[in-house]
Amino acid sequence: MTSFYDDVQKVCALAREKAAAKGRTVIGIAGPPASGQSTLAEAVVDSLNNDHQGSVPAAALVPMDGYHLDNEVLRSRRLLSRKGAPETFDAHGFCDAVRRLNDTSREVFFPRFDRKMDLSVAGAISVHPETPIVVVEGNYLLLNTRPWASLNEVFCASVFVSPSSDVLRARLVQRWIDHGLSATDALERANGNDLPNAELILGNSLKADLVLQQADLDKPL
């Protein structure tokens, strides 16, 4: 099993290999909940920027989580308990925004999800027009249903992070315990929403250019 550092370097190498001669290189990193795709994406962007000299960042990170529907909208649709499922995101808005990354004539802004406030903050992420690489990360980036599948036309390369079901279950339960739930409630929460979402992603995602197991992480999720 390769280390987390090895996986970061693999993705960085893939990004450099796929770098566009002109325009922007967009890399998609997907995976089920608790797979570690967010941690990996952050580390990849940090690594690319650390290896770069210049006033404009070499890489930027765009997370899908900024496109969570607001809790009031979810509550009105009786979807609050399903938060994190595909239908609880502004999928069309997100896919349209990712396609705008192909336009390098201007700065592009994206929302950021604030976990403490449990809401999205508009315009919190900016992508400089001269930043050559953008890493997009999220659970459903490779989901083989519309509109998610349209993202495959934007990505220069894709990465799928796929630990085993047992690893995912353990991580998901621990995540809810860390949020203050009892072991019983954490298991119920994971089984009720997170694991069905994970199974959907594992069974219905497009083939990625690079698949990583991420069974062991030396960084927190």
* 186: pLDDT strictly greater than 70: yes
* 119: pLDDT strictly greater than 70: yes
191 DSSP 8-state letter = I
Average pLDDT, the chain: 91
103 DSSP 8-state letter = -
Cα–Cα–Cα angle for 121, 143, 191, rounded to 5 degrees = 80
* 179: pLDDT strictly greater than 90: no
Contacts 24+ apart (CB under 8 A), 112-121: 112/63, 112/65, 112/66, 113/63, 113/65, 113/66, 113/68, 118/71, 119/68, 119/70, 119/71, 120/65, 120/66, 120/67, 120/68, 120/70, 121/66
Least confident of 105-109, 133-137, 146-150, 184-188: 184-188
Which pLDDT belongs to residue 219?
Answer: 46
Which pLDDT belongs to residue 218?
Answer: 45
Which pLDDT belongs to residue 185?
Answer: 84
CA dihedral 57→63→67→68, nearest 10 degrees, is -140
Which pLDDT belongs to residue 23?
Answer: 81
* 220: pLDDT strictly greater than 70: no
Which pLDDT belongs to residue 205?
Answer: 96
Which pLDDT belongs to residue 221?
Answer: 44
More confidently predicted of 217 and 89: 89
Please state the length of the chain. Answer: 221
23/135 Cα distance (integer angstroms): 14
Q: What is the pTM of this model?
A: 0.92
* 215: pLDDT strictly greater than 60: no
More confidently predicted of 218 and 178: 178
Q: Which residue matches tokens 């090895």?
A: 6
Which pLDDT belongs to residue 165?
Answer: 82
Neighbour tally for 92: CB within 10 Å: 13
* 58: pLDDT strictly greater than 80: yes
94/110 Cα distance (integer angstroms): 9
Contacts 24+ apart (CB under 8 A), 12-20: 12/44, 12/47, 12/48, 12/51, 14/157, 14/159, 14/209, 14/210, 15/44, 15/48, 15/59, 15/133, 15/135, 15/157, 17/157, 18/156, 18/157, 19/132, 19/133, 19/156, 20/132, 20/156
| pLDDT confidence bin for 214, thresholds 50/70/90 | low
